[in-house]
Amino acid sequence: MKSTDAKHPVAEKIPTELKKHDDVRIDNYFWMRLSDDQKLAPIKDAQTQKVVAYLEAENEYYENVTGYTKTFQEELFHEMKSRIKEDDSSVPIKSNGYFYSTRFEIGSQYPIYSRKKETLEAEEEILFDVNEMAKDFDYYQLGGLNVSEDNKLVVFATDTVSRRQYFLRIKNLETGEIYKDIIDNTTGGSVWANDNKTIFYTKKDPKTLRSEKIFRHVLGTPTSEDVEVYHEKDETFGTYVTKSKSKDYIIIGSYSTLSNEAQYLDANNPTGKFTMLQERVADLEYNVSHYKDHFYIMTNKDNATNFKLMKTPISQTTIEHWVDVIPHREDTLLEDFSIYKEYLVLEERTNGLNRIRIKRWDETEDYYLPFGEETYSVGVYGDDEFDTEIIRYSYNSFTTPSSVIDFNMADKSKEIKKEQEVLGGKFNKENYRSERVWATARDGKKVAISMVYHKDTKLNKDTPLMQYAYGSYGHTVSDSFSTTRLSLLDRGFVFALTHIRGSQYLGRDWYEDGKMLNKKNTFTDFIDCSKYLIDNNYTSAKHLYAMGGSAGGLLMGAIINMNPELYNGIIAAVPFVDVISTMLDDSIPLTTGEYDEWGNPNDKTYYDYIKSYSPYDQVEAKEYPNMLVTTGYHDSQVQYWEPAKWVAKLRELKTDTNLLMLHTNMEAGHGGASGRFEALKETAKDYTFFLALENKVNIENSKI
């Protein structure tokens, strides 16, 4: 990017001594941490004013450095926006006699939710116009829509701060009245009992934001009289409430990274007592669905690392009664399953690729849906209908826009209900190439790299390449289509998605080998993939860029500490970089539930290991690549002070003159801006950073 005379902020150093296991760390920027009360108080205290002033100074520095790109950013935003069908709508989903859909109007930031009774030709009934609801807020999120069984009432959840602490309210769909009942500090989810007047919902701990209690609310009664039906007291577990697809049972689930527990209740008897299905056992994971007189259970029981499907009679639900339905397979990860009246649908992953398997209950058929591309993404929609022969799934790839497809499991016919439109008249899927290659990691494991680029892009040492990964919590990033990414591909960039350990791309073992005391495999896999791309002439260190967010931001922090010379620039979005301090503080939201992912640093073994890679603790006096770090002031998952402290420490120690910028969205949290166009503007800023480093932004007229 263009050099600038702007002076970056210099954060004050106020040493704070942190002691643990006879180890002393000095944190010069600990003062940047504010409590939620301080952030939300109408009158700011001195420390809050100081922190906000620092964040705003960093934002001003970012604006000064990138000022010459503003015209280009705006053009890039409009370019990406022009590909989107603004007056778009979802494929209607049938549920309990109604067709539900979501649509956008031209120029609107937020969706409109509506339904039609029995046929698609019926009169549209508007449930919520989020544009109206959001007009007085900088951030607005509507979610958790849950219609009663008699179709007359809907529970809805709203968040106006971006901390994922939702208010629950109830709307009468016949009169349009929104009831006075307001339930605060919830997860946003709810469940109706079959009496159409009782709901169950989950409350969070107001400080740690752990989902900890299930309550029962009866329409028309004060929320202060709501009955607590379950309290999850283990701080390493969270809880939730759901309803079986059969509508027969309300299920309370408890979960940690490594084990689960479920209780169930007859949905016709909301004041009854929940029955334990199977008590939690260390390292036993399971989730439950109901069909006829059995519960069906996806589980890792009997060392089924890649999971298997079992069933147990409703009258005998404890583990000794479970029997195999789909046995464990060493080469196939069972990711999910859906139960229909005549069919069982399985979602699997083999050699990194999604597969959909359809099996009749009467065992007369058992087959896989065919997919032709080498790398793609496919998934079954969460379907509310039980007695149907139709499943709906989505399909897309790096080069193929998303399609929504209805598949008839009886006659094997399919109907494409919707194909994603890429407007602007310039997109042709034949102009793009995708491939999957395998890099060899330093311990001999093969790591997949999925790539996409324009057919006219020459692959050599001068080719700009953006490498992306996440690599934590077993989350697998799919090889999916992106209209915004076209703005990079059309300008000569290669996009490379690396399927590093910590995901489940190659099964559950792939995840286990990238967590806890194996976490460094995640970082070295990414680095070894970078070296593969350089060694095989896809790019060079001068033109290699990297990007990751949240736990992927931790990945960015680790790789630039380990091998900064490999990258010309990185973007770390809402990065989890002060790992050791955060994991030692159980007052920070969600910390205790993370011990099974990262380890508990109150144990010295884990303390030493985490400290050895924690990006904030490992910053050294050396050269670092160009960097853009982004965060949200109200982020509840990765607190803003982690990236703020990290940038301050990097400024203090780094020996290069490369760019280092911090941008804080003062109105948003972990997910960034809430409106669809505001989110596009953030993407335009990110892409401009990479394009400017490649000198593809012309200062005079901003054109490329």
HSE-up of residue 56 (Cα within 13 Å, Cβ side) = 7
- Measured CA to CA, the distance from residue 145 to residue 536 in angstroms comes to 50
Whether 89 sits among the annotated catalytic residues: the reply is: no
Residue 148 CA, chain-centre distance (Å), reads 28
Residue 394 structure tokens: 């989505």
- Measured CA to CA, the distance from residue 703 to residue 491 in angstroms comes to 11
Q: Is the Cα dihedral 398, 400, 403, 405 positive or negative?
A: negative
Instruction: Judge contact between 479 and 508, C-beta under 8 A.
Output: no
HSE-up of residue 168 (Cα within 13 Å, Cβ side) = 26
Instruction: Judge contact between 464 and 446, C-beta under 8 A.
Output: no
DSSP classification of residue 564 = G
Q: Which of 259, 528, 670, 686 is catalytic?
A: 670
DSSP classification of residue 672 = B
**Residues ≥6 apart with Cβ < 8 Å to 589:** 207, 208, 209, 210, 636, 637, 639
3-state secondary structure 121-175: CCCCEEEEEHHHHHCCCCCCEEEEEEECCCCCEEEEEEECCCCCCEEEEEEECCC
Exposed / middle / buried, residue 458 (Cβ in 10 Å: 0-12, 13-18, 19+): exposed
Q: Which of 397, 550, 636, 674 is catalytic?
A: 550
Q: Is the Cα dihedral 469, 474, 479, 481 positive or negative?
A: negative
Instruction: List C-alpha distances in Å: 261 to 230, 255, 309.
Output: 13, 7, 16
- Measured CA to CA, the distance from residue 475 to residue 504 in angstroms comes to 6
What order of strands is seen across the sheet that includes strand 323-326?
Answer: 286-291, 294-299, 308-313, 323-326
Residue with tokens 């010459």: 68
Whether 383 sits among the annotated catalytic residues: the reply is: no
Q: Which of 525, 528, 635, 686 is catalytic?
A: 635
DSSP letter for each residue of 492-524: T-EEEEE--BTB-TT-HHHHHTTSGGGTHHHHH
End-to-end Cα distance, the chain: 14
Q: Is the Cα dihedral 677, 680, 684, 686 positive or negative?
A: positive
The C-alpha angle 266, 268, 272, rounded to 5 degrees, equals 55
Instruction: Judge contact between 251 and 238, C-beta under 8 A.
Output: no
Whether 670 sits among the annotated catalytic residues: the reply is: yes
Q: Are strands 465-468 and 544-549 parallel, antiparallel or unpaired?
A: parallel
**Closest among 5, 8, 52 to 627, alpha carbons compared:** 8
Radius of gyration of the chain (CA): 26
**Residues ≥6 apart with Cβ < 8 Å to 70:** none
Q: Which residues have a catalytic role annotated?
A: 550, 635, 670
